[in-house]
């Protein structure tokens, strides 16, 4: 029992660290948009992340089932679509507001897959926090930005489900590396057109590498490990920490100040995340099998 609690606590720490890195990387990406465009930034992020993960994981290509490859392909598509929608929205909306809308995807997923009263309670608390976090910026919304943020929300939900499947089908980071490579290939034509000559400048390539490490390589690897220790429902609600970390990153790095309502929202999402950990330890409802949990990897 103590081992299970320690495993859950470690997973929560990984999610929090990954989110912090992700939002710092997003703030840096915003500063590069005038030069690369959002789709150029997506390409740089995915290509560098794929190269890093492939070098680290060195995935084995032979001996994989058709179902395993299908899972990797779907995750790769989800990565490309999610990042594309997110960066286009981020060009038009504040960082905190963009992530606030995007996190509705994991929140909805958490309600659908949990099937317990406690999941509804914590999802409701998290949703209240998400709405409070957006309270200071809804008057500045751009219609295209909102649509893209909602598209990122749907894609994020598919990404979470895909990460869980790939984490079960492939050891360590092999599946994620292959999926990232697929996403990078899909983003190439759009990124090359958007970024153009900027791709020949070493300084922008270095910044693109930094964004890739902070926004993709570290958080996606951490999330893959965390999904082996938490239920999808708990993980989905833990993702509600994303608006909090985004609001703080926007305040510190981009000068986007927090209102009192947004501070209240920060407290609510933190409480919901703590409740999600408690829910993940709860006994499965009668008549249902517990969600499979892969053994921790070295």
- Quickly list H helices, the chain: 2-57, 66-92, 95-102, 104-114, 117-133, 143-169, 174-195, 202-212, 218-226, 232-238, 241-254, 260-280
Cα 231 to Cα 239: distance, rounded to the nearest angstrom: 12
Listed by start position, the domains of the chain span 8-115+140-230
b/e per residue 128-143 (b: at least 16 CB within 10 A): bbbbbbbbbbeeebee
Q: Which two tokens stand for residue 227?
A: 């999904």
Q: Rounded distance, CA 141 to CA 98, Å?
A: 10
* Cα distance between residue 223 and residue 228, in whole Å: 9
Find, among 91, 47, 81, the residue nearest to 192 by Cα: 47
Distance CA 263, CA 289 (A): 39
Each residue's pLDDT tens digit in the chain (298 positions)?
Answer: 455 555 677 888 888 888 888 888 988 898 889 999 999 999 999 999 999 989 988 888 777 788 888 889 999 999 999 999 999 999 988 787 788 788 777 777 766 766 677 777 877 887 787 777 666 556 656 889 889 999 998 888 888 778 777 877 777 778 888 999 999 999 999 999 998 888 888 988 999 999 999 987 788 778 778 877 777 667 766 776 777 788 788 878 877 776 777 778 777 877 777 676 666 555 444 444 334 333 322 3
């Amino acid at each position: 029992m103590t081992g299970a609690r320690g495993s859950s606590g470690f997973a929560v720490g990984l999610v929090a660290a990954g989110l912090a890195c992700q939002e710092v990387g997003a703030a840096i990406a915003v500063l590069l948009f005038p030069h690369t465009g959002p789709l150029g930034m997506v390409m740089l992020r995915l290509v560098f992340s794929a190269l890093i993960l492939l070098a680290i994981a060195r995935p084995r290509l032979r001996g994989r089932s058709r179902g395993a490859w299908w899972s990797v392909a779907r995750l790769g598509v989800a990565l490309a679509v999610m990042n594309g929608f997110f960066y286009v929205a981020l060009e038009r909306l504040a960082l905190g507001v963009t992530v606030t809308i995007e996190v509705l995807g994991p929140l909805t997923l958490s309600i659908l897959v949990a099937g317990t009263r406690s999941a509804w309670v914590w999802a409701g608390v998290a949703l209240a926090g998400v709405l409070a976090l957006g309270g200071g910026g809804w008057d500045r919304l751009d219609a295209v930005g909102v649509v893209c943020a909602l598209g990122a929300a749907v894609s994020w939900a598919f990404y979470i489900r895909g990460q869980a499947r790939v984490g079960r089908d492939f050891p360590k980071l092999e599946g994620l590396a292959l999926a990232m490579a697929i996403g990078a290939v899909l983003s190439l034509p759009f990124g090359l057109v958007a970024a153009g000559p900027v791709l020949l400048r070493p300084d922008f390539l270095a910044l693109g590498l930094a964004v890739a490490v902070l926004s993709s390589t570290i958080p996606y690897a951490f999330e893959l490990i965390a999904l082996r220790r938490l239920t999808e429902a708990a993980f989905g609600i833990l993702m509600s920490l994303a608006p909090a970390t985004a609001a703080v990153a926007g305040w510190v790095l981009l000068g986007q100040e927090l209102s009192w309502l947004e501070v209240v929202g920060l407290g609510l999402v933190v409480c919901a995340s703590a409740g999600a950990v408690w829910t993940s330890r709860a006994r499965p409802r009668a008549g249902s099998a517990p969600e499979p949990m892969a053994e921790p990897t070295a």
